[in-house]
Structure 1
Amino acid sequence: MRKMFLKYKWLNLFILIFICLTSLAQVLAALSLSSLLNTALSKNLNLLFKSFILVFIMWMLYAAFEIIYGNLQAKCISKMNTDLRNQVTQSIGCMSYEDFNKKDTGNYVSWYTNDINEIENTAFKPVYSIIFKVVNLVFVVTAVTNIHYLITITMIVAAAILITAPKLFTKKISNLSFEQSLNQEVFTKDIKDILSGFSTLKVYNSLDIFNSKANKLSFSLESCRVRLIYLKNNVSFIIGVLNVICQLSCYFIAIYLVTIGKIEIGSILAVSNLSGNCFNSIKSMTSDLVTFSGGKKVFEKLDSLKKYSQEKPLDLLTLDSFEKDITIENLSYNYGDKQVLNNLNMVFEKGKKYALVGPSGCGKSTLLKILIGHINDFSGNVFIGDHAIRDYDLKSIYNNFAYIDQNVYLFNSSVIDNISVYKDDYSRVDLEKALMGSALDDFIDSEKLEYNVGEAGKNLSGGQRQRISIARALLNKKSVILMDEGTSALDKKNSYIIEEKLLKNPDITLVVVSHNINENLIELFDDIYDLENLSKPQIGSS
């Protein structure tokens, strides 16, 4: 957190300057009240008018400085919030496929929203508030000392009691604040899940499940929040009682000093105002310190994500282009205790076309995920050319390989944005080739390229979504296309057209997972690997 404040040190320096100016104006305004009352008692109307003008100017300066300080603080917090979200984005971007999928997307959404808001309210704002109160206390104590040292001693002793009391509750509030952050994360994840399944629940007349789960999640979230609020309110009550006692103590001492003639009667008004300022500041500051202890844990949670972006990159190779073969040697992989690949050996040659067949669970999809780099804890070896796949930078593999499965994700944007993945470095000729190669040219024209596909592509059919994913791979000129039931949602006619075009495309190496190969296309495959029997009958030229 300290690094975050230091990053914007100049803006924070201006904030500190205006904190000092605001506090000074506030204290001077309080002291001017003493002068105003003493002048009133002297019955000098001319001097009274001047004193009133001085009091008015002091309070106006205080108000003006406070506005400037507030605006600067809001600007700096906005920058730090944005910086935190950027750090989250960079950390997520550096995660491996396996690390990313250990959590649901709802967890990540919670990091961007709930956790950032929590840090703002329990870390950033309390820090500025504490600094303001400390500066304010320095000016207040200085001013009170000029009135009488006895009032200063009373104020310091009372302040020490007021500061010490809330520390008894710091740990409990810190733990509850962290628990609240975790509950927010769970709530965001689970509510997103049941909202995504709303249509299914509605069709199956299971909306009572929807209501039940939503209510249960809300109850769990609010239960923790209420416990936290109750505890904070109890602490606030204790601080409030002590605050009143402390103010009355200073007020009593001031009246006593006036009675024995040590200070002027106008000083009572100044002491009353300054002691209220002092102890209200301490009350607020102790609450801020308790709140801050909870915010630190949330900040530490997000700060721990830096481990992904700070890991030293290995000396990895770059796959500039796919020029040779993919060779698999003695490849094995287990999901827990279940072995899905066992001592597998095969070769995928550049420019050739392959099919992976076999019953569900025999490892076809797993093999594709290993080839695209989504799974790397396998035993055996996978070579791209002369080097193991683990020796390559994954980014360079992604530049050459495309992975297409039956569950296509589309962004809530236009057709062309989804095909290009928001890139604009393509030509019209390349776009037309991609549309033709994916059989999209029959229903996509220039106008429809700007059509918004909706959230997760809900405005398109399953077949249209799959065609967009194929066009995406073609437009981005992937040399190797790994397709897992990539045409399963298409009708037979379009499925045949697309598969035939891919199989006849000399520029790509194609590896297809399929449960139902069209008989008319079998001869276009160079090899068909039966993963269940680890055999590879020769079909066609090889």
Structure 2
Amino acid sequence: SWFTSDLEQLEDNGFAVLFNSIGSGMMLIFALISLSLFHWGLAVVTVLVAVMLILTPKWFQKQTKEATSNLSAANEAFTTTVQNLFKGFEVFYTSNAVGQFVKRIKVASDALSDVKVSYRKKFSFVQLCISLLNFIGKISVDVVAGIMVFAGMISVGAFTAAGSLTFNCFASLEQVVQQLVQLKSIHVYFDKFNSLEADSNLQPDNSSLQQTLSLRDVTVSVNGHVIVQPVTFTIEKGKKYALLGDSGTGKSTLLNFLAGRNHEFTGGVILDGKPLSKEQIVQLRNITAYNPQKNHIFNATVKDNITLWEDRPFEEESRQMGLNQFTNAQEVVSEHGTKLSGGQRQRLALARTLLESDKVLLLDESTANLDLESARSIEAQLLQNPNLTLVIVTHHFFEEHRNLFDEVIYLGKEKSL
């Protein structure tokens, strides 16, 4: 939505309107100059009325910004809903519930339609108010011009010509004011995109963990709901950690937090001896490499999928994950990895993560789709590498690997394995 609907709104109500307003502004200036040639008083009165009209967008700024913000949120919600439904279309199809699929699409469309109608109503009301004020302003100038005729300050011919110029002047003025309303409303989009900009002052001095990352009584929330209960542990460089717990205890949520992707937390986070604030939690992104449960496979070569189009060596990581057994570096895999099995996708994603071997590797069920022997072999290989710092979430804990972990961290009630 941000790169489709929002950018379209920026183009239509931002840049296009900006250039149109420049043209309207030039027409207004030329009309004012022409009026001043008949009598400077006409130009002064017109300027005073114009200033009052130009200030009117401030009266509607709150309503138009709110309407624009609601439209942006509705577009985002609609896009998310439709994408989610289409990704799950096969489920509807195999369950003979295509009618429900269509119904959900219609519900999402109706919700977006309601917001768009509300948006258009608010802007139409603003335009109506501007047109009314503009009409009153033009009548006021005409009245002043009539008084000047009776006072002998201008001729009847000048009054007629001034009326035509006044019409052009206020037509341009109405366009300028309406365009100002539109331009002020799109600040909502700039605020959204500016929120994505990284603050260079929040970046860490180093791009990898130097000594330790400590959590002290940390709770992690998602949308205001506490998912991870208070947890305390320390990650030391070069050590290996297993993160265990029942389903729903927040293992994936905690990894997401350690990856710097969530700043809803309480407690203390200390990176190499320096406490991090909620705003600074983004620094964790620079010292971790996160391998989530679901990894995206690009419609590109195996090499580009691993290196993300960067010119860097990858052969060793590819060999470690056994990619050469079923593919080659220059083979193109299709979008979403449809040419690869689930296990092969995980091998490729792990190779991508291993390129960041100097960071803390956060592996979330990263071997779940492999057969047991392959999963056991790859996990042992990673755990026996002294250069790696690992935090592994797994539902299938291999007892024979217990001694390869420096610590086993339990979320929720601790269990004996």
Structure 1 and Structure 2 fold alike (TM over 0.5): yes
Question: What SS does structure 2 have at the residue aligned with 1:478?
Answer: coil
- Which fold has the larger relative contact order, with Cα–Cα distance below 8 Å and residues 6 or more apart in sequence? 2
**Partner amino acid for 1:331?**
D
Aligned residues of 1:165 and 1:239 also touching (Cα < 8 A)? no
**Partner amino acid for 1:420?**
T
Aligned residues of 1:236 and 1:287 also touching (Cα < 8 A)? no
CA distance, structure 2, for counterparts of residue 404 and residue 468 of structure 1? 11
Structure 2 unmatched runs, 5+: none
CA offsets 1:133-178 (integer angstroms, 9 cap, x no match) = 3431343124x43xxx4xx656765x46964885796456544432
Alignment of 1:260-339 (within 5 A): 275-299=163-187, 302=190, 313=201, 318-319=205-206, 321-322=208-209, 324=211, 326=212, 328=214, 330-333=216-219, 335=221, 338=226
CA-CA distance at 1:513 after TM superposition: 0.8
**Partner amino acid for 1:212?**
V
CA distance, structure 1, for counterparts of residue 293 and residue 75 of structure 2? 27
CA-CA distance at 1:317 after TM superposition: 5.6
CA distance, structure 2, for counterparts of residue 168 and residue 489 of structure 1? 63
Cα gap change, 1:125/1:353 in structure 2, threshold over 3 Å: closer, same or farther? same
Aligned to 2:365: 485
CA-CA distance at 1:432 after TM superposition: 1.5
- Identity score, percent: 23
Question: What SS does structure 2 have at the residue aligned with 1:357?
Answer: strand
Cα gap change, 1:174/1:521 in structure 2, threshold over 3 Å: closer, same or farther? same
Structure 1 unmatched runs, 5+: 1-105, 538-542
CA distance, structure 1, for counterparts of residue 396 and residue 354 of structure 2? 23
Aligned residues of 2:383 and 2:404 also touching (Cα < 8 A)? yes
CA distance, structure 2, for counterparts of residue 320 and residue 227 of structure 1? 49
Aligned to 1:515: 395
Question: What SS does structure 2 have at the residue aligned with 1:313?
Answer: helix
CA distance, structure 1, for counterparts of residue 270 and residue 415 of structure 2? 18
CA distance, structure 1, for counterparts of residue 210 and residue 72 of structure 2? 45
TM-score, with length taken from structure 2 = 0.75
Question: What SS does structure 1 have at the residue aligned with 2:324?
Answer: coil
CA-CA distance at 1:404 after TM superposition: 1.2
Aligned to 1:344: 232
Would you say 1:504 and 2:384 are equivalent positions? yes
2:326 to 424, 430, 443: 443
Alignment of 1:436-475 (within 5 A): 436-448=319-331, 450-451=332-333, 453-454=334-335, 461-475=341-355
Higher helix proportion, which one? 1
CA offsets 1:481-522 (integer angstroms, 9 cap, x no match) = 111112223444543443233233332122211111245555
Aligned to 1:355: 242
CA distance, structure 1, for counterparts of residue 170 and residue 390 of structure 2? 70
CA-CA distance at 1:408 after TM superposition: 2.1
Task: State how many pairs are aligned.
Answer: 404
CA-CA distance at 1:292 after TM superposition: 0.8
Aligned residues of 1:527 and 1:536 also touching (Cα < 8 A)? no
TM-score, with length taken from structure 1 = 0.60
Aligned residues of 2:239 and 2:388 also touching (Cα < 8 A)? yes
2:290 to 403, 406, 421: 403
Q: CA RMSD in A?
A: 4.5
**Partner amino acid for 1:180?**
A
**Partner amino acid for 1:215?**
D
CA-CA distance at 1:253 after TM superposition: 9.4
CA offsets 1:409-449 (integer angstroms, 9 cap, x no match) = 4556554333223322x13xxx121212233222331331x
CA distance, structure 1, for counterparts of residue 85 and residue 389 of structure 2? 40
Aligned residues of 2:241 and 2:409 also touching (Cα < 8 A)? yes
2:13 to 118, 142, 153: 118
Higher strand proportion, which one? 2
Aligned residues of 1:187 and 1:218 also touching (Cα < 8 A)? no
